[in-house]
A = this chain, B = another copy of it.
Amino acid sequence: MLSKKTKYGLKALTFLARRDVKGPVQIAEISRSENISQKFLESILLTLRKAGILGSKKGKGGGYYLIRDAADVPMTDVIRVLEGPIAMLPCVSLNFYEKCDDCPDENACSVNKLMIQVRDSTLQIFRHTSLADLISE
């Protein structure tokens, strides 16, 4: 299940991408428009900034803004930053790999093989979908 953190993050990003004027947007405005707890959203936007997806400006007239063009923000980046691994099992994850305690031989594990298929098909979608695709649909 997708966490609210990720869902809220995606909604905030689409909100920013949809704006024609590209100046900074305050947390309060996004939180109001998207029905997200302001403080919770604050921590999410901070994460996205540290990940290099958002930029920020302090003080009056400050806020958050997209650092790259929306077309250059693939879903893979956003999901990995907010949700973590895309794979359903650590032993199948490309970016967060971890061995299973219970599995003696990964290559002989049928669950592993199944989850590789799921990972690949999900990855294909996330790789070919950018923030720009999200708002144009």
Contacts and interface: CB of A to CB of B under 8 A. Distances in A.
Interface of A: 1-2, 7, 10-11, 14, 34-36, 75, 84-85, 88-90, 101-104, 109-111, 113-115, 117-118, 121-122, 124-126, 129, 134-135, 137
The number of times this chain is found in the oligomer is 2
Contact of A137 (B85, B102, B110, B118): B110
A35 B100 CA distance: 11
A11 B102 CA distance: 10
B2 A89 contact: yes
A115 B109 CA distance: 28
A126 to B, nearest CB: 8
Q: Is the interface of A mostly helix, strand, loop or mixed?
A: helix
- Closest 4 A/B residue pairs (Cβ): A35-B102, A110-B134, A2-B88, A121-B121
A103 B1 CA distance: 17
A126 B118 CA distance: 9
Contacts of A134: 110-111, 113-114
Contact of A102 (B36, B75, B135): B36
